[in-house]
Structure formats: C-alpha cells, structure tokens
Amino acid sequence: MFSQTFEYALRAVVFLAERPNSRWTANQIAEAVQVPAGYLAKVMQILAKKEIVKSQRGLNGGFSLARNPDELTVYEVLTIVDPLPRIRQCPLNIESHKVNLCALHRKLDTSMEMVEQSLRDTKISELFAGEPIFPQA
C-alpha cells in the first residue's frame, strides 16, 4: 500500500526524532535504518526542501529533524514523498459513472480517506514512544 520511498523517509524521520539535537550523515542514517544510502540521500534532500529535516554542509554537518516530533504527523511525511492516490473518477472509465463513483469505488475511496485520517492523527513521537526503534549508530 505504501511506497518504498515513504517507508525510507519514515524510517529516517523516526531515527532523527529518536536523537534530538544531533546531526547524522545520510550514510549513517542509511546504515542504522538499513536502507540504500544513495536512495536515502535523495529522500533526505526532498525532506530538507520541505523543511521536515535540516541539512547542514561541512564539518559537523548532517541532517537533524527540523520539526517537533510531537507535532509532526506521519501524514505530512507521506504527502511530501508519495501522497496516497484518491479515487476522483471511475478508474474503469465507465461513461455513466464519470465523477459519480459506483458503490465499489466510493467504498475504496472512503477507505483511503480513513487511512489518511489515521495518519493525520499519528504523531512521529508516537511511533517510538520514548523507546528507540533503531540501534545507536
């Protein structure tokens, strides 16, 4: 249901949330959360552009979380890297349905809405509840 890009972004954000007030390179994060370093570096740049993480170059540089994990939601991370698709018109291109979804597609879209709401209600800090998920790097 969720893309690998989202999974990697979420792992990195949780890793940083577990370690406030410190900076980590993309390689260090990648090793700790067990994702490919090159791919994660690209994901981290996306998160930095959207101000979810801070990026600092140079000596003692690296990434840190830019937002309070008690306020940052899982949904915000998702929408930045790979928003959930919603059903706005008949995926089968049935002319009579147009934008009036049939019962099946309406139900599927309602399910997606419920998932979105659940992710909106879930703060990053809830994912680790004070106990680190990832080992110390």
Query: What integer is the mean pLDDT of 45-65?
Result: 93
Burial 24-41, CB ≥16 within 10 A → b, else e: bebeebbebbebeeeebe
Model confidence band, residue 83 (pLDDT cutoffs 50, 70, 90) = confident
Q: Quick one: pLDDT at residue 130?
A: 64
What pTM does this model have?
0.86
**Which residues 6+ apart lie within 8 Å of 27 measured at CB?**
37
Token pair, residue 30, equals: 């990648």
Q: Would the pLDDT of 98 be above 70? A: no
* Per-residue pLDDT, 137: 58
Sorted by where each starts, the structural domains of the chain and their CATH numbers stand as 4-83+124-128 (1.10.10.10)
Q: Quickly count: other Cβ atoms within 10 Å of residue 96's Cβ.
A: 7
